[in-house]
């Protein structure tokens, strides 16, 4: 298996970013029996580029995305493509999406974009589409079928009839804990499209689905949730190897439901608490998940980061490149048939910062 990158080595590499040609990230290349089939991609998500006024943006969130882009550019081997997991903007405005697109333009390689609710609810994705393309689509790469869903839609009545202005609609959906929000969903039209898209695909083909919200139900109060998760899961069920990779939650989560492996990714902007830490609701994480370390607020970039993903086996090995923290790797264990942390999975290996309360 791969060597772990110590925090010190990683920081040393990051500090020398401008001066050197590659980060110690090259150490993370995973060895598989048939190396010809190996391929990797990078996943960056939840940058929440936030406009202040004029040409001013929140510096902290800018830095998170700038760092992810710089580091992803230094990956060796070069990833085949990059996925952006949604919430590029904070309030979906043109200046925010433009500024985010400008930072992303420094990435070398093809980027596939996923829609987040912070990108969508101002103009229902119109400007985003102009910049990045369709809101849902599929593509094939080296024998793997990839699907990108817009999973942050909601009830038509909430979207079209409830709010006096698009700006207010955006603000209401932007508040994670706002009781005026509305549950996310893929919706019937897109599920029909997905059904037809998957009909053409051999059931032995590895399938990877990208969404912004979890295609599983974790906590409705913060929209760690997709209303029609079961219906989407049913469409994925006939496939042998299925992985869903989602953003939105800004934290490490992973789970296995039947044949489907679920992985959440980190935000580059800020970490979110685990729903289980909200004392007024009864809420548990997927049992499988070993939580990320609690964030140290004195380190601006702590508990944020981006991902480097290996799909050599048809299942995914997901490496969290964490800023100001030890990196983590969650790999599919073919013996147990589920994703597991390569270091912290056994209870006796866990460390005090992974206890959330």
Minimum CB distance to other proteins smaller for 64 or for 187: 64
Helices 188-199 and 229-236, packing angle to 10 deg: 10
272 binds, among other proteins, Fe ion, none (CB under 5 to 8 A by kind): other proteins
Sheet holding 328-333, edge to edge: 111-113, 81-84, 40-44, 305-310, 317-322, 328-333, 338-341
Pairing of strands 317-322, 328-333: antiparallel
Taking the complex as a whole, the smallest distance from the CB of residue 271 to other proteins amounts, in Å, to: 7
Taking the complex as a whole, the smallest distance from the CB of residue 224 to other proteins amounts, in Å, to: 10
280 binds, among other proteins, Fe ion, none (CB under 5 to 8 A by kind): other proteins
User: Residue 46 interacts with Fe ion (CB under 5 A)?
Assistant: yes
What is the SS3 assignment for 252?
coil
Taking the complex as a whole, the smallest distance from the CB of residue 22 to other proteins amounts, in Å, to: 32
Minimum CB distance to other proteins smaller for 15 or for 297: 297
Q: Are 176 and 217 in contact (CB under 8 A)?
A: no
User: Residue 300 interacts with other proteins (CB under 8 A)?
Assistant: yes
Cα R_g (the chain), whole angstroms:
19
46 binds, among Fe ion, other proteins, none (CB under 5 to 8 A by kind): Fe ion
What is the SS3 assignment for 122?
coil
Look at the chain and count its residues.
Answer: 357
Residues 43-62 within binding reach of other proteins (CB under 8 A): 48, 50-52, 58-60
User: Residue 87 interacts with Fe ion (CB under 5 A)?
Assistant: yes
338 binds, among Fe ion, other proteins, none (CB under 5 to 8 A by kind): none
271 binds, among Fe ion, other proteins, none (CB under 5 to 8 A by kind): other proteins
Minimum CB distance to other proteins smaller for 7 or for 191: 7
Asked if the peptide bond before residue 215 counts as cis, ω within 30 degrees of 0, the response is: no
Burial of residue 36 (number of CB atoms within 10 Å: 0-12, 13-18, 19+) = exposed
Which part of the chain contacts other proteins (CB under 8 A), choosing from 9-17, 108-116, 162-170, 171-179? 171-179
Taking the complex as a whole, the smallest distance from the CB of residue 305 to Fe ion amounts, in Å, to: 14
Minimum CB distance to Fe ion smaller for 75 or for 186: 186
User: Residue 214 interacts with Fe ion (CB under 5 A)?
Assistant: no
Taking the complex as a whole, the smallest distance from the CB of residue 210 to other proteins amounts, in Å, to: 24
Residues 11-40 within binding reach of other proteins (CB under 8 A): none
Minimum CB distance to Fe ion smaller for 30 or for 265: 265
Q: What is the DSSP letter of 117?
A: H
Cα distance between residue 106 and residue 109, in whole Å: 9
Cα distance between residue 118 and residue 357, in whole Å: 28
Cα distance between residue 344 and residue 331, in whole Å: 12
279 binds, among Fe ion, other proteins, none (CB under 5 to 8 A by kind): other proteins
- What distance separates the 2 farthest-apart alpha carbons in the chain? 58
The set of residues, in sequence order, having a beta carbon less than 8 Å from that of 302 and lying 6+ positions away, is: 271, 295, 296, 323, 324, 325
202 binds, among other proteins, Fe ion, none (CB under 5 to 8 A by kind): none
DSSP H or E segment with residue 131: helix 126-132
User: Residue 96 interacts with Fe ion (CB under 5 A)?
Assistant: no
The two tokens of residue 146 are: 């990839």
User: Residue 273 interacts with other proteins (CB under 8 A)?
Assistant: yes
Cα distance between residue 214 and residue 228, in whole Å: 11
User: Residue 271 interacts with other proteins (CB under 8 A)?
Assistant: yes
Minimum CB distance to other proteins smaller for 52 or for 106: 52
Taking the complex as a whole, the smallest distance from the CB of residue 95 to other proteins amounts, in Å, to: 13
> Which residues sit at the interface with Fe ion, rule CB under 5 A?
46, 87, 116-117, 248
> Which residues sit at the interface with other proteins, rule CB under 8 A?
48, 50-52, 58-60, 175-178, 221-222, 270-273, 275, 277-280, 294-298, 300, 352, 356-357
């Amino acid at each position: 298996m791969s060597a772990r990158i110590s925090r010190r080595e990683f920081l040393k590499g990051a500090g020398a970013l401008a001066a050197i040609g590659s980060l110690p990230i090259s150490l993370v290349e995973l060895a598989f029996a048939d190396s010809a089939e190996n391929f990797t991609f990078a996943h960056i998500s939840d940058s929440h580029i936030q406009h202040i006024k004029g040409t001013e943006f929140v510096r902290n969130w800018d830095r998170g995305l700038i760092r992810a882009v710089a580091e992803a550019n230094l990956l060796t081997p070069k990833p085949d493509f990059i996925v952006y997991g949604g919430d590029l903007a904070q309030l979906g405005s043109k200046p925010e999406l433009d500024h985010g697109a400008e930072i992303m333009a420094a990435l070398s390689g093809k980027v596939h974009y996923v829609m987040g609710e912070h990108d969508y609810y101002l103009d229902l994705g119109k400007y985003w589409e102009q910049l990045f393309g369709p809101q849902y689509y599929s593509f094939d790469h080296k024998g793997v079928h990839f699907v990108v869903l817009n999973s942050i839609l909601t009830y038509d009545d909430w979207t079209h009839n409830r709010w006096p202005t698009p700006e207010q609609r955006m603000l209401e959906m932007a508040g994670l804990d706002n009781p005026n929000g509305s549950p996310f969903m893929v919706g019937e039209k897109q599920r029909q499209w997905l059904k037809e898209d998957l009909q053409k695909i051999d059931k032995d083909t590895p399938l990877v689905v990208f969404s912004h919200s979890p295609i599983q139900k974790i906590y409705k109060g913060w929209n760690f949730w997709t209303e029609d998760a079961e219906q989407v899961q049913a469409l994925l069920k006939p496939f042998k190897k299925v992985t869903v990779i989602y953003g939105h939650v800004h934290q490490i989560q992973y789970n296995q439901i039947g044949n489907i492996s679920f992985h959440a990714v980190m935000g580059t902007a800020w970490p979110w608490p685990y729903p289980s830490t909200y004392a007024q609701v009864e809420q548990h994480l997927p049992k499988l998940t070993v939580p990320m370390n609690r964030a140290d607020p004195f380190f601006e970039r702590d508990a944020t980061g981006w991902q480097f993903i290996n799909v050599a086996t048809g299942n995914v090995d997901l490496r969290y490149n964490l800023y100001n923290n030890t990196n983590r790797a969650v790999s599919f264990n073919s013996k147990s048939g589920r994703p597991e942390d390569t270091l912290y999975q056994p209870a006796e290996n866990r460390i005090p910062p992974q206890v959330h309360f």
